[in-house]
Amino acid sequence: MGKTTVTSNDVARLAEVSQSAVSRTFSDGGRVSAGMRARVLQAAAQLGYRPNVLARAVISGRSRLIAILVAYLDNHFYPLVLEHLCRAFQDQGYQVLLFMTDPGRQDAVVQTMLQYQVQGIVMASASMSSSLARECTRTGTPVVLFNRYVPSLPVSSVTSDNIEGGRQLAHFLADSGHRRIAFIAGQEDSSTSRDREAGFYKGLAERGMTVWHRAVGGYTTDGAEAATREIFAEAGGADAIFVANDHMAFTVMDVLRRDLGLRIPEDVSVVGYDDVPEAGWAGYNLTTVSQPAAAMVEATVAIMLEQVGDKAVHRRAGMLPCALVIRGSARLP
């Protein structure tokens, strides 16, 4: 049998009420008597009626939809964040539309998002052009960059204190007696990698040291493997490596042990950043910097819903403290 669409008019006829009464029954804050509400709900259940949320959004101009744009999910920090974001927005009565993108396609995907009449956009591991950011501002669509910031864009952002996190790792490795300390960067255009590197250099300078070797992993497993081989192609190799995120650090540790026959931390210390759940697994036991994912999500939702409620876009920046988590992948001071 074909699917038959049941309308609010059908429910109104069966319940012997007006169509507006049906609409009020299924609207947040709609005023209707208890008796009438019971009749409408009974008729709706009998007919299998479900209100058309999207059609109502077009009429009211309030879709209660938040779009989230993600460039990649390989880094296990982001699936965790997505779960927290979805639950947090749902708890506030909003639903989430998830979009994936590739480098260079972010603007086109955002344009598609806007066609769904979303009330706000969260961008995780992704960014947008300045012209599109200005368009979102002009049309009153708030944008929050999660774990990223771009000073030139008129959008809000939420990050952890990546500079301080890099600085703490530098002090930890220097105080542990390491002298050939390498750094593996993430994406060169990423504010997270840049800030972690800047903090790391600052911390080493405060100990009278500099980075012994720098390589780029690009936040990918292939890039991390190539960067590790590059570092250990030099005579002596590094005695410690700060990897710009845990996802790459796991690959670095695998290459060191499996392919280069090195012991961690006896031969080389490895530290990462993010503190994803796998960092605590016995096979990695990774010393890392913990980003406060739950607090970052809370700040993101608060900034977004404040601007949605105000129907005005204003640039806000939230920065939360991080914490060094010491495990067994690095020598202790």
Could you give the percent of the chain with pLDDT greater than 90?
Answer: 57
> Which of 4-8, 161-165, 200-204 is predicted least confidently?
4-8
Terminal alpha carbon distance of the chain: 72
Q: What's the predicted TM-score (pTM) here?
A: 0.83
3 found inside a domain: no
The answer to whether the CB of 151 falls within 8 A of the CB of 191 is no
333 or 243: which carries more pLDDT confidence? Answer: 243
- Answer yes or no: is pLDDT of 136 > 70: yes
Cβ-Cβ contacts under 8 Å for 121 (sequence gap 6 or more)? 66, 67, 68, 69, 110, 113, 136, 141, 142, 143, 144
1 found inside a domain: no
- pLDDT digits over 82-133, tens only? 999 999 999 998 999 998 887 777 788 888 888 888 899 998 877 777 788 8
287 and 179, same domain (yes or no): yes
Sign, Cα dihedral of 223, 239, 285, 273: negative
* CATH code (residue 281): 3.40.50.2300
**In which domain, by residue range, is 230 found?**
162-291
Q: Which helix (H) or strand (E) holds 293?
A: helix 293-310
Q: Is 277 helix (H, G, I), strand (E, B) or coil?
A: helix
230 and 287, same domain (yes or no): yes
2 found inside a domain: no
Query: Among 216, 296, 207, 204, which Cα is nearest to 252's?
Result: 216
- pLDDT digits over 40-95, tens only? 889 888 888 887 666 666 555 677 899 998 887 888 899 999 999 999 999 998 99
Region class of 230: left (phi > 0), else alpha (psi between -120 and 50), else beta: alpha
104 and 192, same domain (yes or no): no
203 and 276, same domain (yes or no): yes
The answer to whether the CB of 163 falls within 8 A of the CB of 202 is yes
Residue-wise over 55-65: b if at least 16 C-beta within 10 A, else e?
eebeeeeebbb
Q: Is 110 helix (H, G, I), strand (E, B) or coil?
A: helix
**pLDDT (mean) for 21-44:** 83
303 and 232, same domain (yes or no): no
On average, the pLDDT of the chain sits at 90
331 found inside a domain: no
How does residue 135 score in pLDDT terms, banded at 50, 70 and 90? Answer: confident
How much is the pLDDT for 1?
A: 43
260 and 302, same domain (yes or no): no
**pLDDT (mean) for 164-173:** 98
**pLDDT (mean) for 215-224:** 96
How does residue 222 score in pLDDT terms, banded at 50, 70 and 90? Answer: very high
58 found inside a domain: no
330 found inside a domain: no
How much is the pLDDT for 60?
A: 56
252 and 310, same domain (yes or no): no
> Which residues make beta-bridge pairs with 66?
96, 120
Q: How many Cβ atoms are within 10 Å of 312's Cβ, its own excluded?
A: 11
Domains identified in the chain, total number = 3
225 and 298, same domain (yes or no): no
* CATH code (residue 15): 1.10.260.40
57 found inside a domain: no
132 and 78, same domain (yes or no): yes
Q: Which amino acid appears at position 306 of this protein? A: E
127 and 156, same domain (yes or no): yes
110 and 203, same domain (yes or no): no
314 found inside a domain: yes
149 and 196, same domain (yes or no): no
